[in-house]
Structure 1
Amino acid sequence: MSEKRDTQSGLVVSAHSADFVWRAGGAIALHVQQGYQMHIVCLSYGERGESAKLWRKGNVTEAAVKETRQQEAQHAAELLGATIEFFDLGDYPLRADEKILLRLADVYRRVQPHFVLTHPMQDPYNYDHPLAFNLAMEARIIAQAEGYRPGEKVLEAPPVYCFEPHQPEQCNWKPDVLLNISEVWERKYAAIQCMRGQEHLWEYYTRVALQRGVQAKRNIGITSHKAISHAEGFQSIYPRVTEKLA
């Protein structure tokens, strides 16, 4: 495996301002606890398709919805211990041009992540999600290129993990990594509760974490004394290079 750099970091590319909380909040909090500097990029606030509760209040503007969503995401990131930035690329539809692609490549160069978390490559229920995946993957490739902004430190080859979509079977998503987030679950749930515009998902993603926790416990072996109650699932994109399989 490649030699570790002095400052460990991770990058999360989230299509909407709540996606990183539901799907990777535990991974973020756990790695912060381990000394990683975690950074989140929210491509959109989710102001149209993922803010129904806010719109149902009536007499509200899109700008006001965006502001609320940003405050929720900012608070959640702070609770998880991560830094966050917002690209504000719109929602339903989310769109990105070459300028945005290079902006994300610059984030890769700045953060120099040891791993990347983002959406799966398919999601027939939300086209913003595969767009975020493609943007994250292409920006990663550009950031690795010696000819892009010569003289800067190029990105190495951070592994990419796709976090769990809302309906995994329909997205051809199959986890090959189960991350034990038991010790940071309370912090993740506190971040979940920041997302008041989508309160209907709080219980759903609690059940997901419990289910993945059961699966993680079973896969680690019944003789293990390691306590696992909650977990997050991820699907890796690239093979892991190692000299030891155990």
Structure 2
Amino acid sequence: MSTRTVKDPSASDGLLPAVLIAGLVAVVGGSVWAGIHLGTDQAAPGNPIAIVKGLIRGELVWETGSTLVVALVLAAVIALVVATAVLVRRVQGEKTRIDAKAKVMGTGRDIKGITEKECRSVAYKSLGMKEELKDRTKAVGVQIGKHLLTGRMLRGSYQDLHCDIWGPRTGKSSSRVIPAILSALGAVLTTSDRPGDGKHGQGPVGGLGNLQRPGQARREGQSACEHPRSAEGMGVRSAGRRR
């Protein structure tokens, strides 16, 4: 994580209310000015405050043309606000409120350990994956996600422990499990209480090696754990009998 001093983006500093009040005053003042100067032929001062004083004292008259002009001004302001909101919505696309926290996330040396370059270094020096690293088109490491500030893909090395805490229906399978299955350089053992992860990986990786059905893998995997000798045929190394 970054050690630099940052401010919580969720904390309000009172700037937004001040901007809203200033905008409201500007709209009201501009409407009054436009209503008198464009809606009537009276000789009126240019200061909106002086115009209001003149209306109160009876020196100026608010005519029907003034009301029409104010209505047009308000309609134009509302249309501008709606168009701006739509434009902002389209620019943001499918971003969520958590994306606003990107500016306080780690950068540079903070995320060096989970970059693809670092994953390749670990795979070469610590895991001896020299043959796998010859193909530069294949990704090395377990995909984590894109860094919001730079757009670079972040990955954890194969010797790292990944512990994710996600809520229900937040994209665990589609964002973490399935991409890890599809980008793996070797054999994959995946478990789930539903067969979805295995089914989604059958098509793309089915032609690269032997693929077991979820039910079959569960039964044979359980057998390998209960009977360590049978693990040799599956290429599984078991530490001992299941307790």
Shorter chain as denominator, the TM-score bin is under 0.3
Greater strand fraction, Structure 1 or Structure 2: 1
TM-score, normalisation: structure 2 = 0.23
Larger RCO: Structure 1 or Structure 2 (Cα < 8 Å, ≥ 6 residues apart)?
A: 1
> Higher Cα Rg: structure 1 or 2?
2
Greater helix fraction, Structure 1 or Structure 2: 2
